[in-house]
């Protein structure tokens, strides 16, 4: 008799470790458990394996130059081009195979396949167009586009001519675009007229031009016309704005030789949130980053050229950079891009796409899995998902229940699940199981990858014992690491190194990278990442600085002070809770609440929208005047507050609780 659903749930609920399926191990790119010892014994030369996945135009002389920590250099003396690695070298064998399968939002109307030949052609044409506009090597080009194929085309065109790109997530606001363009001194912008969200056209160009009003230098703009004429918001463009199609047509059939870039030359900048209001410009390089994206795609995502690989992230975040564009294309596979949301036109959408394209891997975020769980298993269960071979998650901790649901309902208990911990700064995966080697433990990302040296330590830097909570640290450099924060070496050292390093030392072994995450480690060396220990929130797997949100709120007329914390949320993981003190004479009414929400959306974007705005007379503060954020989090979560008598103003707590309860 076959197992009933209830029996099966009960069995899975009790099981806390899972072996990878034999059928997977037999075909896995990496299946030899000795790789851990081999990499440790051969460090840093083990990373030649990663560099070997790339094509170099000049060989590197040294794997790692660690003479000036923390300014490490990898594959020094080597030269390569990222666009040639993603395209040119695949043409002979895979020219007619799909490089990108793009699924546009309006169902069945607008899907496009780019073969490697076609992608190569368009990248060359657009690279020639960028040159015509005057873009030269090392000029930063900002790309402000949603999930349309022209985004990876533009990224690869920039890479081809040695111009670093800075992609700004399309959901970010006009102000966020301006901040990033000013910080990077970026004089070129590629954007689009609009795109679809849940069936409705959105005016993206309007947001881009509003942003440009606040850019403090001249900008040449290229606009991709994504919307068909019946949905277009405009059909003429302002001065200094060129149409993408026209530019590409002007350069039809042209080729541009890929520029040889030094391994340490910047490939791209990516701005991410930190503890101050100013986003950090994370700098990634050509040789180290690309080899890291390629090796982790090979070893962890098990990508093979004949696969159809689906990552549902947005290219506007690091996940899309490393695991939609650079990693998969370097390996010559077919990478999918989906423009829409998983619930439009209905909740079958993602499963229909996987079934239709016979996707072999699915890499998504726990926030999406929690939403799928809430919608119910009937949606995936009514589709043939048997093409899937591997499942992955990224961006935030995944609770064991969601992990098991994913394993059972999407993977049919036949696919290993890789829970991958990493950050914008690490360039690619750092902690996770190797799917063809390791046992999986739901809820725990897993051990550090071979060649990665990570640990969990206490405040003084000593390793904690198994099961105790502490701070995650990385003890040795790795090729995909950020090199610095753009134009800000001091902040780079202060943010990531000062905590656990001897910053006066020239010895690499005295330098320890601190990712600002809390973690636990078990007796087998599996690390469970608990979340940020700085003032950064993780909302639906997206990183948001509380300071950025607070400064947006205090910018609203009538607001005197604000404190933003994260509260638990079933689907989003964390949600934004804003505690606000108004100036005298301002009414705590609906109008002000709306103005605050709008203020946050204007400064950052809808993802930062507060779940709750709580007006209060005062914020709970310690006797020394520090805001008690932990207490505000406990209030948001309805947790027991413990002893509040040490506060300077304990009476305010009850007042806030009452307000939150009445909202
Ligand atoms: O707190 C960790 C969490 O996401 C942060 C990095 O965010 P970001 O730079 O936006 O990159 C997200 C995609 C790589 C980390 O500091 N995080 C990421 N992956 C995991 C995670 N937390 C727990 N488990 C993970 N697998």
One CATH from 3.20.20.120, 3.20.20.10, 3.30.300.30, 3.40.50.170 for 536-662: 3.30.300.30
pLDDT for res 4: 63
Q: Are the beta carbons of 454 and 428 closer than 8 angstroms?
A: no
Nearest ligand 1 atom to alpha carbon 445:
26
> Which of 251, 138, 123 has the alpha carbon at shortest distance from 188?
138
End-to-end CA distance of the chain: 51
Alpha-carbon span 612 to 593, nearest angstrom: 9
pLDDT for res 521: 97
Q: Are the beta carbons of 78 and 56 closer than 8 angstroms?
A: yes
CATH 3.30.300.30 residue spans of the chain:
536-662
Q: How many CB atoms lie within 10 A of CB 56?
A: 18
Q: How many CB atoms lie within 10 A of CB 125?
A: 22
Residue with CA closest to ligand 1 atom 10:
543
Whether ligand 1 lies within 6 angstroms of the CB of 569 is answered as: no
pLDDT for res 5: 65
pLDDT for res 610: 96
Whether ligand 1 lies within 6 angstroms of the CB of 532 is answered as: yes
Instruction: Kindly give the distance from the C-alpha atom of residue 515 to the centroid of ligand 1, in angstroms, as a whole number.
Output: 10
**Average pLDDT in the chain:** 94
Alpha-carbon span 70 to 506, nearest angstrom: 9
| Ranges of the chain whose pLDDT falls below 50 | 1
Whether ligand 1 lies within 6 angstroms of the CB of 445 is answered as: yes
The class that CATH gives domain 121-253 is alpha beta
DSSP letter string over 597-631? HHHHHHHT-GGG--SEEEE-S---B-TTS-B-HHH
DSSP letter string over 358-378? T-SEEEE-HHHHHHHHHH-TH
pLDDT for res 235: 76
> Which of 535, 421, 430, 521 has the alpha carbon at shortest distance from 469?
521
Q: Are the beta carbons of 232 and 225 closer than 8 angstroms?
A: yes
Q: Are the beta carbons of 352 and 345 closer than 8 angstroms?
A: no
Query: Which of 275, 395, 527 maximizes ligand 1 atoms within 8 Å of its Cβ, making it the mutation to test the pocket?
Result: 395
Whether ligand 1 lies within 6 angstroms of the CB of 531 is answered as: yes
Q: Which residues contact 522 (CB under 8 A, 6 or more apart)?
A: 441, 444, 466, 467, 528
pLDDT for res 1: 39
Whether ligand 1 lies within 6 angstroms of the CB of 433 is answered as: no
Whether ligand 1 lies within 6 angstroms of the CB of 517 is answered as: yes
**Could you tell me what percent of the chain has a pLDDT over 90?**
84
Instruction: Kindly give the distance from the C-alpha atom of residue 505 to the centroid of ligand 1, in angstroms, as a whole number.
Output: 29
**pLDDT tens by residue, 211-234:** 999 999 999 999 999 999 999 998
Alpha-carbon distances of 77 from 58, 260, 263, 364, 422, rounded to whole Å: 8, 12, 7, 36, 27
CATH 3.40.50.980 residue spans of the chain:
121-253
Provide, for the chain, the percentages of residues in helix, strand and coil under a 3-state DSSP scheme, each rounded to the nearest 5. Answer: 35, 25, 45
Instruction: Kindly give the distance from the C-alpha atom of residue 395 to the centroid of ligand 1, in angstroms, as a whole number.
Output: 4
Q: Are the beta carbons of 118 and 87 closer than 8 angstroms?
A: no
Residue with CA closest to ligand 1 atom 21:
396
> Which of 555, 557, 588 has the alpha carbon at shortest distance from 173?
555
What CATH number does the domain located at 454-532 have?
A: 2.30.38.10
Q: Which residues contact 662 (CB under 8 A, 6 or more apart)?
A: none
Tokens linked to 3:
């197992």
pLDDT for res 3: 63
Instruction: Kindly give the distance from the C-alpha atom of residue 421 to the centroid of ligand 1, in angstroms, as a whole number.
Output: 6
């Amino acid at each position: 008799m076959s197992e009933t659903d209830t029996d099966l749930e009960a069995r899975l609920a009790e099981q806390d470790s899972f072996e990878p399926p034999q059928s997977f191990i037999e075909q896995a790119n990496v299946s030899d458990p000795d790789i851990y010892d081999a990499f440790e014994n051969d460090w840093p030369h083990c990373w030649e394996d990663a560099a070997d996945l790339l094509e170099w135009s000049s060989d590197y002389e040294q794997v790692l130059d660690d003479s000036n920590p923390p300014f490490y250099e990898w594959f020094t003396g080597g030269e390569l081009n990222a666009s040639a690695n993603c395209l040119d070298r695949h043409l002979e064998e895979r020219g007619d195979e799909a490089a990108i399968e793009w699924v546009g939002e309006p169902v069945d109307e607008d899907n496009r396949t780019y073969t490697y030949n076609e992608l190569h052609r368009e990248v060359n044409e657009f690279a020639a167009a960028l040159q015509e506009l005057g873009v030269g090597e090392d000029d930063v080009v900002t790309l402000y586009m949603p999930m349309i194929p022209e985004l990876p085309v533009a990224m690869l065109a920039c890479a081809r001519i040695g111009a670093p790109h800075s992609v700004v997530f399309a959901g970010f606001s006009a102000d966020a675009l301006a901040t990033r363009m000013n910080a990077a001194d970026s004089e070129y912008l590629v954007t689009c007229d609009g795109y679809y969200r849940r069936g409705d056209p959105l005016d993206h160009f309007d947001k881009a031009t509003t942003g440009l009003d606040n850019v403090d230098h001249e900008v040449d703009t290229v606009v991709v016309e994504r919307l068909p004429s019946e949905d277009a918001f405009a059909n003429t463009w302002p001065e200094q704005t060129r149409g993408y199609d026209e530019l590409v047509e002007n350069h039809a059939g042209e080729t541009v030789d890929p520029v040889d870039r030094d391994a340490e030359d910047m490939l791209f900048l990516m701005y991410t949130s930190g503890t101050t209001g100013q986003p950090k410009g994370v700098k990634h390089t050509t040789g180290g980053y690309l080899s890291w994206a390629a090796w982790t795609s090979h070893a962890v995502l098990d990508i093979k050229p004949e696969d159809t690989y689906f990552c549902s992230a947005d290219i506007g975040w690091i996940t899309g950079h490393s695991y939609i564009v650079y990693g998969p294309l370097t390996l010559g596979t077919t990478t999918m891009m989906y423009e829409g949301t998983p619930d439009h036109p209905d909740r079958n959408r993602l499963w229909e796409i996987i079934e239709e394209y016979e996707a072999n891997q699915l890499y998504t975020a726990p926030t999406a899995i929690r939403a799928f769980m809430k919608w119910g298993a009937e949606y995936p269960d009514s589709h043939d998902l048997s093409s899937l071979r591997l499942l992955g998650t990224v961006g935030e901790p995944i609770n064991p229940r969601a992990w098991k649901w994913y394993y059972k309902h999407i993977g049919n208990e036949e696919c290993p699940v890789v829970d991958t911990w990493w950050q914008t700064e690490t360039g690619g995966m750092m902690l996770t199981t190797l799917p063809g080697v390791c046992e999986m433990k739901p809820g725990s990302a897993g051990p550090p990858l071979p060649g990665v040296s990570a640990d969990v330590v206490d405040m003084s830097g000593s390793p904690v014992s198994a099961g105790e909570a502490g701070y995650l640290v990385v003890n040795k450099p790795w090729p995909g690491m950020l090199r610095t924060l753009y134009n800000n070496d001091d902040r780079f050292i202060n943010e990531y190194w000062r905590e656990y390093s001897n910053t006066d030392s020239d010895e690499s072994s005295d330098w320890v990278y601190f990712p600002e995450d809390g973690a636990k480690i078990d007796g087998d060396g599996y690390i469970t990442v608990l979340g940020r220990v700085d003032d950064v929130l993780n909302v639906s797997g997206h990183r948001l600085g509380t300071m950025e949100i607070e400064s947006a709120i205090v910018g609203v007329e009538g607001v005197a002070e604000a404190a933003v914390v994260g509260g638990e949320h079933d689907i989003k993981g964390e949600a934004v809770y804003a505690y606000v003190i108004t100036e005298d004479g301002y009414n705590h009414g609906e109008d002000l609440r709306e103005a605050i929400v709008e203020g946050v959306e204007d400064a950052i974007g809808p993802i930062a929208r507060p779940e709750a705005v709580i007006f209060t007379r005062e914020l709970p503060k310690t006797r020394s005047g520090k805001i008690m954020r932990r207490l505000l989090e406990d209030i948001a979560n309805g947790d027991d507050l413990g002893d509040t008598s040490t506060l300077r103003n304990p009476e305010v707590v009850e007042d806030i609780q009452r307000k939150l309860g009445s909202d």
